[in-house]
Amino acid sequence: MSAVSCLTHKRSESFPHRMASWMSRCGRSGLLASSSRKRTGVLPGFVLAIVCQGLASAILAASTDPTKSMLSARTDAPQSEFERLMAVARETRQGAGTRVRHLSIENRPAIGNENAPLVLIEVASFECPYCRRHWLEAMPALRRSHINAGRLRYVFVDVALDPTHVNAKAVVEAAHCANEQGQYAAFRNRIFTNQKATSAAFLEAHAQAVSLDIKAFRHCMASGRYKAQVENDVRLMRALRVRGTPSFFWARRESDRSDVRLIRRISGVQSFDEFAGQFDALQKMDKTTTTTVVDTTL
């Protein structure tokens, strides 16, 4: 974890990189063994080094390209916001594209005036202590002064980017199920005020505590209808280069579009005063010239 946000994930090494590293260590071990036995005239270490290099080369030659495997696995997948971003990224690399400027916020949990010109999108994990800090410290004042006053639309994107947040995906599904009954904010508050109780055993108790229809909640969770959205949102946020939670995107509504235009990315915990200052600055900016900071070069 950093000082202000929960770390997303460590970059995993590719198979060829790991094989090259292993081959190097193997070869060094063999050559050292060869050197130590030089005086005896025996060269098992040298032979070992040759065998290691030959074996590694053969394995690398036979291995498949993991990138091709991932792309082929997605061939039959339905079109999604993630696929759209990837298409824009490919065009950008070919010199024909532009930065991603718009993002759909339809069917996402949200509070505040639907017609507010400025939108703040929060990317959070239910198991991230910094997300809890934002919800408990900055969010109450932000709701009173901007959201409830109709000045700001606030949209939630709940994700499980950090592999150490082992229960996050199930909690996100539960939050979507609570949203079906109009109790998303209450459920979210319940989770963040009881953050150590996020395993599956506690979810139904949280649902009961916010007065959800338990039968409907159970049916929603058992159906798994939000699993695909949860996975897609993880890929979407990584495509947008979200590295940690909480992260925020300021966006602006445009009269001729159903989605919103992304205009600024903010990473990590912010104070209410910082959000208020950002809001005021964006209101004063020329609505037609504000540029996005969301880069699609993946």
* pLDDT given for residue 238 in this prediction: 85
Q: Are 158 and 175 in contact (CB under 8 A)?
A: yes
pLDDT tens profile 229-249: 999 998 888 888 888 899 999
Positive or negative CA dihedral for 218, 221, 224, 229?
Answer: positive
pLDDT tens profile 134-188: 999 999 999 999 999 999 999 999 998 877 788 889 999 999 999 999 999 999 9
Strand ranges in 54-204 using DSSP code E only, listed in sequence order: 102-103, 110-112, 118-124, 152-158
Other beta carbons less than 10 A from residue 72's beta carbon: 11
Joined tokens for residue 280: 């005021």
pLDDT tens profile 76-93: 444 565 565 555 555 444
In single-letter form, the type of residue at position 252 comes to R
* Polymer length in residues for the chain: 298
Instruction: Kindly give the pairing relationship between strand 247-253 and strand 260-267.
Output: antiparallel
Strand, coil or helix: what is 102? strand
Confidence tier at 103 by pLDDT (50, 70, 90): confident
State how far the Cα of 101 lies from the Cα of 36, in Å rounded to an integer: 62
Positive or negative CA dihedral for 271, 275, 276, 281?
Answer: positive
pTM of the model: 0.67
pLDDT exceeds cutoff 70 at 258: yes
Positive or negative CA dihedral for 134, 140, 141, 146?
Answer: positive
